[in-house]
Amino acid sequence: MSIIHSYLRPNKKFPHVWCAGCGHGTILGSIIRAIHALGLNRNEVILVSGIGCSSRAPVYVDFNTLHTTHGRALAFATGLKMAKPQLTVIVITGDGDAVAIGGNHFIHSCRRNIDITAVVFNNSIYGMTGGQVSPTTPEGRRASTAPYGKLGEAFDVCDLAVGAGASFVARGTAMNPRQLDKLLVRGIGHKGFSVIEAISQCPTIYGRLNKQGGPLEMLQWQKEHSMTIESYRAKQAKAKAEGEADSAILDGKFLTGVFKEDANLKEYCEAYEAQVRQAKAKQEAA
């Protein structure tokens, strides 16, 4: 039996709800392998999700799970972590669920630096509810609510997370699960708020509306349009040494890897417990 199969719910009806070629199953596999690699007790792991294609993931796995309302997964997860700080709390959320209706919760979870891992399955569209534009739909791309192309720039989830104060921020892709596995191990193992954006393909809606082909073509696009941070920095250094401009290095590509990792920021639950102890000491002294 594979590692993934050993973590699935044996009484759950299959097949799953995801379309053929969707990247979400690949990302869920990476989450399972990361939990296994960290040696975590499945009874002390809880997966929390909101609403959307990605948020169906906890239904299939044998952990403590909580399927919540749209955009509110981080709010529920915060309550769980405050009540049971010993638990490993992982939030599975989509690009719309996380940074549209759930954007305020996302920003303040980053700011608090509470010890929760948020895995953002980013397929650049609302897949389950009809193919509407999401905050990460690239400018000019089509959706059911943007038949002539989306107006305005897309959110960069990792930039948003870094700016809001998350202490671990990374990005991987469904095309490269080995890299994603490693990023998730580092993110889940990090003490503080971790954001791992996972770029996923949606051939049924996004791919069809934007004529990007099937799942293989969309995975090939991820491969051709991604660049590791290490490779980018090496090319920057080479360009600088040769006196050349580095503005064209990315040339339409997006970066993958770890954008931020700060182990020195205060974790919210620990800071809260310290404040409680201080208040009790003052009461006893009075």
In this predicted structure, the answer to whether residue 271 has a pLDDT above a threshold of 80 is: yes
- Tell me phi and psi for residue 197, to 5 degrees: -85, 130
Cα-Cα end-to-end distance for the chain = 61
> What gap in Å lies between CA 227 and CA 31, rounded to an integer?
22
Split into its structural domains, the chain has a count of 1
Q: What is the mean pLDDT of the chain?
A: 94
- Tell me phi and psi for residue 162, to 5 degrees: -65, -45
In this predicted structure, the answer to whether residue 243 has a pLDDT above a threshold of 90 is: no
pLDDT at 1: 57
User: 24-38, 100-114, 124-138, 237-251: lowest mean pLDDT where?
Assistant: 237-251
The tens digit of pLDDT for each residue in 149-168 reads 999 999 999 999 999 999 99
Cα–Cα distances in angstroms (integers) from residue 258 to residues 16, 224, 271, in the given order: 31, 19, 25
> What gap in Å lies between CA 12 and CA 56, rounded to an integer?
12
Q: Are 31 and 62 in contact (CB under 8 A)?
A: no
CA 119 to the chain's CA centroid: 2
What is the pTM for the complete model shown? 0.94
Domain interval for residue 218: 5-285
The CATH code of the domain that includes 171 is: 3.40.50.970
Residue written as token pair 């996972």: 198
CA 219 to the chain's CA centroid: 18
Q: What 3-state class would DSSP assign to 165?
A: coil
Question: Is the preceding omega at residue 15 within 30 degrees of 0, hence cis?
Answer: yes
Mean pLDDT score, 106-117: 97
pLDDT at 93: 97
Cα–Cα distances in angstroms (integers) from residue 145 to residues 70, 121, 149, 204, 208, in the given order: 19, 21, 9, 16, 14
Stronger pLDDT, 244 or 212, i.e. the higher one: 212
In this predicted structure, the answer to whether residue 118 has a pLDDT above a threshold of 90 is: yes
User: 91-95, 133-137, 207-211, 242-246: lowest mean pLDDT where?
Assistant: 242-246
> What gap in Å lies between CA 7 and CA 33, rounded to an integer?
10
